[in-house]
Amino acid sequence: MCGIVGYLGPQDAVPILLEGLARLEHRGYDSAGLAVLTDAGAVRVAKRAGRVRDLAAGLPKRFAGHLGIGHTRWATHGPATDANAHPHTDASGRVAVVHNGILDNAATLRARLAERGVPLTSDTDTEVLAHLVAAATADTLEEKVRQALGQVEGTWGLAVLHADHPGEIVVACNGSPLILGVGNGEMYVASDLAALVRHTTRVVMLEDGELATVTADGFTTSTGKGAQEIDVDPDSYEAGDHESFMRKEISEQPSAAESVLRGRLDERFGTTHLGGLNLDARESRAVRRVKILGCGSSYYVGQMGAGLIEELARVPADAEPASEFRYRNPIIELDTLYVAVSQSGETVDTLLAVQEIRRKGGRVIGLVNVVGSAIARACDGGIYLHAGPEVAVASTKALTNMFLGFALLALQLGRVRDLSVADGRRLVAALEQLPGKMKEVLDTEPQIAEIARELSRAESLFFVGRVRGYPVAREGAQKFKEITYRHAEAYPTSELKHGPLALIAPEVPTVAIVPADELTERNIGALHEIAARGGPLVVVTHPEVDLTGLDVRRIDVPRSEVELDPVLLTIPLQLLAYHAAQELGLDIDKPRNLAKSVTVE
């Protein structure tokens, strides 16, 4: 949930570190800091609460060095203060550490250090690492770090520099990713490709439990692995002409949809090609249940996916928050297919759930966006989402491609069972048309923006939908609350009269999902109940739905096949949240208290 950068080479490290931190600020932005090893052999540290721009503006004069590490923080232990910002140093100031993750036994270690008279200057768990490295008796910096890590429990991605070991940075990871970038006579360290792509496309992705010693001339890892070339467009990490990354990523949904569908649709047999699943037809037929695990938006789109799988494959399917899964000692069934969903492929709750399933002999596949990520590596197979880099904290195009990934999976599972070739071809044709229909939805943005400005004045909102529409409503409420900071709650439309209807009032708008399906009339009946109590209504619906007699703000989306309608109904809710947040003057890409990749429990 934080960002790490590092540099060793002939250039001044500070501008490179600041640029890298700015590119990682979506991963943590309540404080930032740098540590450099000067040519005179001293470790100099600058850090402060606030954004990277605040750090850059306050840097001391002649703050320079050819080796350095930097960090953007998302607070876990202690509030966002200058003292709690990374890097952290030992008492002598000769060791500096940046760290992502959580040390579970930090309180015990802090107490031991205090008993020994070691001064602790922050509230963080990370500070103990600097003191443990400084106290280690090994000769090399890598062994000092290894000794220190032998005393801690938890997760880490960390980078360490030491004044007594000039010319090298030692990095280690366990449950929190780190990447090495290989340049020409210079090396880079980062927790995300975004910080590296402007400098190099040769990278090393460290495995859990791995340590590496990095010098300007190269690196050595504990596993002896080498670098690989990655295919990435650096411009994809830029907002370009868009006022925010979220706005850019909303507009990229049609092209992202084309990418995830490309080469995977089989019109002749009405099915899909998903070789990455590592499931043949016999194994697919042996699946008796599907369990989907994700967090936040990934959980809500998992609910949409579960509905798709039940409809098309006629296999029981459900979704569950990955953050709760392993703590209830789940029963792992060998004929259940588990599906882990994560944009980053780093979400620690989901990764730990995957590890628990694998430990108990279950089969798990991943729907992830980042190639080579921890969850992708931990799964038995999967579907890469091919949405391209997603920088905004609020997920849009990756979420859309998650839905399409579930559609591809459901169609393949259905066709090895009882789904007819005619129905398969019907759905393949509809999937091919979805990118164009997404463009039609985006064309209605001016009307949606006007409605969003009205909704921005409400302190609390309801989002409601039934069956296929309910997870759409849940995702809509999630988007609205996370970037507008307004209270937004989702309910099944049928549950309104079982309690929530008491809160309906003129100052509490309801955003209702009302597709043209077998439940349209029942949904319209609920709208009348809301209107009778003075509740303002925004209805996301299809053009043929007749809302005569109701005073509503209407948003029409084009029809697809009924099973695929949820993905088109979701896009207006993204735009409602975006334009409401814009009207409120909020930082849309970096909502308060949140980070893009949740790599701590």
Q: Which residues are catalytic?
A: 2, 596
Residue pair 483/578 in contact (Cβ under 8 Å)? The answer is yes
Is 359 exposed, middle or buried, given 0-12, 13-18 or 19+ CB atoms closer than 10 A? exposed
Residue pair 426/561 in contact (Cβ under 8 Å)? The answer is yes
Q: What beta strand segments (E) does 438-556 contain?
A: 460-465, 487-492, 510-514, 537-541, 553-556
Residue pair 556/456 in contact (Cβ under 8 Å)? The answer is no
Rounded CA separation 295/299 (Å): 5
Residue pair 86/47 in contact (Cβ under 8 Å)? The answer is yes
Burial 79-101 (b: 16+ CB within 10 A, else e): ebbebbbbbbbbbeebbbbbbbb
Q: Which of 437, 450, 394 is nearest to 576 (CA)?
A: 450
- At residue 381, the 3 state secondary structure works out as strand
Half-sphere exposure of residue 290, counting CA atoms within 13 Å on the CB side?
31
Rounded CA separation 40/465 (Å): 65
Residue pair 264/258 in contact (Cβ under 8 Å)? The answer is no
Extract the tokens encoding 544.
């043929």
- At residue 183, the 3 state secondary structure works out as coil
Residue pair 383/362 in contact (Cβ under 8 Å)? The answer is no
- With a CB cutoff of 8 Å and minimum separation 6, the contacts of 591 are 393, 394, 482, 483, 485
Amino acid code (one letter) for 381: G
Rounded CA separation 524/132 (Å): 64
Extract the tokens encoding 68.
């350095």
